[in-house]
Structure 1
């Protein structure tokens, strides 16, 4: 069977794109290997009518919506390769299956690359977070640490100050905060500790202290982390898609990439890491697919 479109990725972008395409009466297949970026998240926020929902509950409700549309098929499998053919794309899965589709929406997302600090995985997603917009409310007025192990952390520290005035920045011995930035933070009573971190300590996912290699200790109840991002799947490179210069896929305002027939939506295209934003971008990419079909066939 030649599908009208294959959607790669079962996050908010891919799910919403599938919904729009299903309502657009297109034969589509959604590939979802169920390895979401927010797997550790207990509650998702900033999505009106869904504030505080668990990601699994969000996905369950999404599939209930998709089940209403008979042209939407779901393949719960990992895509391992996408091979361009003459006028379509071959999608190869980890089980050795091959599916054909005229168009592709990449909604594969990004992966968080955390700094290598002992104990960090134990607390990430429960008392240490990456996004102040997502979790700042829950940490309001607490004594917080900001682990600025990567560059460009200064703006994030400023944003965290919206929710708490008791912040200590730890660079873990990295040059992640410039002297000028340190001076500004000092004016705001935000100290910067440049000692290397030995480990993070606490119980049950609840951070209690940061232990430094020089023997010092910092008591903190929660905090935020700077992290790197990388594409969760290699398809942008394999398809020769242009980059936006910041690690994402370059798209036009409606999700079209530099390659005809390939669209992108969500985090992998450099969108804000918010469920509601990813869902909206999935909708825009799907509308582009429908619009391009109509333009070609009207």
Structure 2
């Protein structure tokens, strides 16, 4: 059975960037990709120098092609279903959905996060006319009549104030959540209307939002907007590998990708279970890979 220097679990920008750095460092590495990248529903990616407006799948295809230039790098189109520590040999055993077992010295967790929305209908519009990141998609929605859909006071205030930079034509939908009077007054002073009714349905065509129907019967015209989802890690690998967490649920690291569990590293959105940008996640991957390579170097020199 082959032994790898490092196995990268997750082929988002963090995992891809880390694998490239490790390949260039002549490390034997395989990256697992099961095609569940969170940005796969997005039509364009923004904020990454030289790749402005690129489709996420094209970005990924380019990265995969670059990885194939390095003979010590391999790509596994499988899902990791189990990770175990072989304490006797100080190695890790990884089992895939194809019932294969891989042995590795180091593991980089870059499996990212996934969204949960307050309304199931949001999925139909997410990535086309409803988004979660104004820095990523605010420019494309500038000056349009937009909706802010959120259910938590802190999230509502933060997102509304932020999006106001791109469009002054905003309406807040709290889906049954009551806002403090001061918040409502602050919004109304900026001519931002607030609907606290439960949302009955979203209407539109081919992912393009046209209106929001409320339980009260009102149907409010909107052509796009921003939502505040909750995020979760799609697996329990960090827990199973005894990584320590902070009080907010973030995985504790040294700031350079090393977790508190020896041999386990983290990069990208997985660390804090919070959304990030393409360019920041890629930088995280590069940083974690540098730590992995240095640790392997010191172990073997």
For 1:228 and 1:110, locate their aligned partners in 2 and report how far apart those are by CA, in whole Å.
Answer: 10
Structure 1 contact 200–211 (Cα < 8 Å) conserved: yes
> What SS does structure 2 have at the residue aligned with 1:38?
helix
Distance 1:143 1:55 in 2: 26
Decide which moves more: 244-253 or 135-144. Answer: 244-253
Indicate how the Cα distance of structure 1 residues 244 and 205 shifts in structure 2: closer, same or farther if over 3 A, else same. same
Query: Of residues 156, 160, 165 in structure 1, which corresponds to 2:159?
Result: 156
Structure 1 residues 151 and 242, CA gap change in structure 2 (3 angstroms): farther
- Is the contact between residue 254 and residue 285 of structure 1 (CA under 8 Å) also seen in structure 2? yes
- Give distance in 1, aligned partners of 2:180 and 2:299: 53
Report the secondary structure of 1:39's partner residue. helix
Matches within 5 A, 1:1-298: 1-86=2-87, 87-117=90-120, 119-153=121-155, 154-175=157-178, 177-270=179-272, 273-298=276-301
Supply the distance in 2 between the matched residues of 1:124 and 1:215 (Cα, whole angstroms): 24
1:189 CA displacement? 1.9
Deviation for aligned residue 1:247: 3.5
Structure 2 CA distance for aligned equivalents of residues 204 and 223 of structure 1: 16
Greater shift, 96-105 or 181-190, is seen at: 181-190
Q: SS at 1:290's partner residue?
A: helix
| Cα distance in 2 for residues equivalent to 1:58 and 1:30 | 16
| CA distance in 2 between partners of 1:280 and 1:296 (Å) | 25
Q: Partners in 2 of 1:22 and 1:123 — Cα distance?
A: 38
Measured in 2, the distance between the counterparts of 1:151 and 1:242 equals 30
For the residue of structure 1 that corresponds to 2:220, the secondary structure is strand
* Matched residues, number: 296
Contact 1:148–1:171, Cα closer than 8 Å, also in 2: yes
Tell me the CA shift for residue 259 of structure 1: 0.4
Deviations 1:170-211 (A, max 9, x none): 000024x44433232222221211011100011121111111
Q: In structure 2, how many angstroms separate the alpha carbons of the residues matched to 1:120 and 1:47?
A: 26
Matched residues in 1 for 2:48 and 2:162: separation?
A: 20
- Shift of residue 272 of structure 1? 5.0
Mapped partners of 2:227, 2:212: distance in 1:
13
* Secondary structure of the corresponding residue to residue 41 of structure 2: coil
The alpha-carbon deviation at position 14 of structure 1 amounts to 0.3
**TM-score normalised per structure 2:** 0.95
Instruction: State the Cα distance separating 1:151 from its structure 2 match.
Output: 4.8
Is the Cα–Cα contact under 8 Å of residues 149 and 227 in structure 1 kept in the other structure?
no
Partners of 1:272 and 1:278 within 8 A in 2: no
Which moved further from structure 2: 245-254 or 28-37? 245-254
Alpha carbons of 1:101 and 1:121: their partners in 2 closer, same or farther (altered >3 Å)? same
Structure 1 gap ranges (5+) = none
User: Over residues 232-254 of structure 1, what are the superposed CA-to-partner deviations in whole Å (9 max), with x where a residue is unaligned?
Assistant: 22211211212233343222210
* 1:231 and 1:247 in contact (8 A); partners too: no
* CA-to-aligned-CA distance 1:29-51 (integer Å, 9 cap, x gap): 11111111111111001000001
Cα distance per residue 1:114-158 (max 9 Å; x no partner): 1125x3222111111111111100000001000012453111111
CA RMSD of aligned residues (A): 1.4
